[in-house]
Amino acid sequence: MLRKRGAAVYYTVFRLALEARCAKQISGTLQRLVSVEQKWKTKRGWLINTDGVFSTKLREIWGGAGVEIKASKRSTDCRTESAFHEIADITLLHVRDVVEKWIDDNSLDESDSSYENGVVAFTFGTKGTFVLNKQAPSRQLWLSSPRSGPSHYSFSEEAQSWLDTRSGLELLHFLKEELEFTNQCYCLDLSLDLSARKSTQF
C-alpha cells in the first residue's frame, strides 16, 4: 500500500512539473511569434497581415490560455497632456470621417455613428457597437469591440502609430479588421500617415 501511494505521489509531481515546463515552452513560442509578426511591418508601422487571420487567432490563443504577451516595441513615455490630446483627436476624427463615409458608400443597414467629448461610437444594429475613446490619465486610446472585447493602445513615436499595450498590434489596422469582419464588407481603408507630424513626446 505504501509503495502504491509513493508511486502515485511521484507520478503527480512528475506530471505537474511536465505541465509547467510545457506551459513555459508554449509561452516562449508565442513570444517569438509576436516578435516575428511585429518585424513584418511597412514604413508606417502596419503589420503585413492582410487577412488578419494570424493576428486574430494569436490573440485568441494567448487570451484563452491566460498568457500575457509583451510587445517587443515599447511605446513612448507620455509627458504632456496637450500633445496626447493633439494626436488622439487627429486619430479619432480620422476614424469617424473614414468610417462614416464607408458606412454611407456601402449602405450598411441599421448603422449609426456619434462623436462627442473624445468618444467615437459606431453601432451596427444587432451586430453590436464599437467604441473608441481617449483616456487622458493613462495617455491611451481604448477600444471596445463586440467581437474581441476591450483593448488599450499607447502611442509610439518610433512606429508613428497606436500600439496595443499587450500584443503590440496596430490600432487602425486591427479596427479595420474588426469592422470589416463584423459587417462582411472588405473595402475599408483606415490608413493614416502621421510621419509628417512634428515628433512630440507626450
Task: Write down the domain spans for the chain.
Answer: 2-183
**66 to 13, 26, 53, 123: CA distances (angstroms):** 23, 12, 20, 29
Between CA 170 and CA 162 the distance in angstroms is 6
Mean pLDDT by 10 residues, the chain (202 residues): 46 46 45 42 36 41 39 50 93 97 93 96 97 96 97 94 96 98 96 72 57
Helix axes 53-65, 171-183, angle to 10 degrees: 100
| Nearest partner of 190 among 167, 164, 161, judged by Cα | 161
- What pLDDT score does 17 carry? 47
CATH node for 2-183:
3.30.920.10
pLDDT tens-digit map of 139-193: 999 999 999 999 999 999 899 899 999 999 999 999 999 999 999 999 999 999 8
